[in-house]
Amino acid sequence: MRRIGILTSGGDAPGMNACIRAAVRTALANDLAVIGIRRGYTGLIAGDAVPLDRRAIRNTIHLGGTILETSRNPDFYTREGRLRAAASIERMGLDGIVLIGGEGTFHGASLLAADADTAALVGVPGSIDNDVYGTDYCIGFDTAANCAVEAIDRIRDTARSHERLFFIEVMGRTAGFLALESGIAGGAEELVIPEEEVSIARISERIREGFTIGKKSAIVVVAEGKTPGVSFEIAREVSERLNFESRVVVLGHLQRGGPPTLRDRVLGSLLGVAAVEALTEGRSGCMVGEVGGDLACTPFEDTWQKKKPLDEKLRRIFPFLSE
């Protein structure tokens, strides 16, 4: 192992720069040359790369987003596109690549490895949705969850002042991690998550019960699901049932940006080091993650083929915490 590349792919997540920084410093400590591949798989196909040294990653640990930029490239899901990427890897003389991203990133890496005998590939989970199998937490989740909690706290002031019902939509297209944890931390009255069938009747009844015991406002946290903006339709139906005025707030991409929290900086640093060490140990085709406080390597296929379950302890406690 003499020369490695680092790329970020898919949605940006706070803490990716901490991971890049840690990976670069670990590589340099092991006498490896490092390049940064810009714009994810788009840059990999095009051979768009820049040298990474200590100067390049200095004063970046506190930055949100990714200094390498990112993209989602449909060409990489064609065999032709992946073969072009493999040829680019050979031209750049890479022995290994650290891929920071989500399940789509690792799916693409699995396909690349199947199509071509190329560089060793090790992944690091970066996703504010926290939906990647093989790690308890993904880089970016903690920052996004704290952003959602801060929004809930602010909106609760207005909800209480005006005696209103608020629906706060957070990200989470296929998984409710963000909605569940921010809902508990923000004291929400109800949740809508992809793991459970939406019941307008149940939501309405629970909110009505709260009003009967003296509550004058309520907050429902809604995971965006496969249809961002779904909270508007849910709010309309619940409001009609309760005959109660409601408002909708969609947090959207606010959750992606901003300085990473301490937890995301530390997690990004830990996994950046672990990814490079995995490459130097001869590992490939796996993602490094943290499970139960320990580092673990999970095959790429498992990261996107297996469904990561919500924490059942948290699901169990939410109903009586929200009463």
User: Tens digits of per-residue pLDDT, 179-209?
Assistant: 999 999 999 999 999 999 989 999 999 999 9
Q: Other C-beta atoms within 10 Å of 262: how many?
A: 9
Which token pair is 202?
A: 């149940």
Q: Which runs of consecutive H residues, i.e. helices, occur in the chain?
A: 16-29, 40-46, 79-92, 103-115, 141-162, 177-186, 200-212, 230-242, 262-280, 300-305, 312-321
Q: What pTM was computed for the model?
A: 0.95
Give the residue range(s) of CATH 3.40.50.450 domains in the chain.
Answer: 3-140+260-305
> Between vectors from CA 229 to CA 16 and to CA 106, what angle results, nearest 5°?
35
> Does the structure show a pLDDT above 80 at 28?
yes
CA-to-CA distance for 195 and 193, rounded, in angstroms? 5
> Does the structure show a pLDDT above 80 at 25?
yes
pLDDT confidence of 321, banded at 50, 70, 90?
confident
- Residue 320: per-residue pLDDT: 84
Give the residue range(s) of CATH 3.40.50.460 domains in the chain.
Answer: 141-256
Is residue 129 annotated as a catalytic residue, yes or no?
yes
CB of 40 within 8 A of CB of 70? yes
Of 129, 131, 142, 264, which residue is the catalytic one? 129
Which token pair is 185?
A: 């931390």
Superfamily covering domain 141-256:
Phosphofructokinase domain (3.40.50.460)
- 3-140+260-305 topology per CATH: Rossmann fold (3.40.50)
The percent of residues in the chain predicted with pLDDT above 90, rounded, is 89
Q: Which of 24, 44, 21 is nearest to 33 (CA)?
A: 24
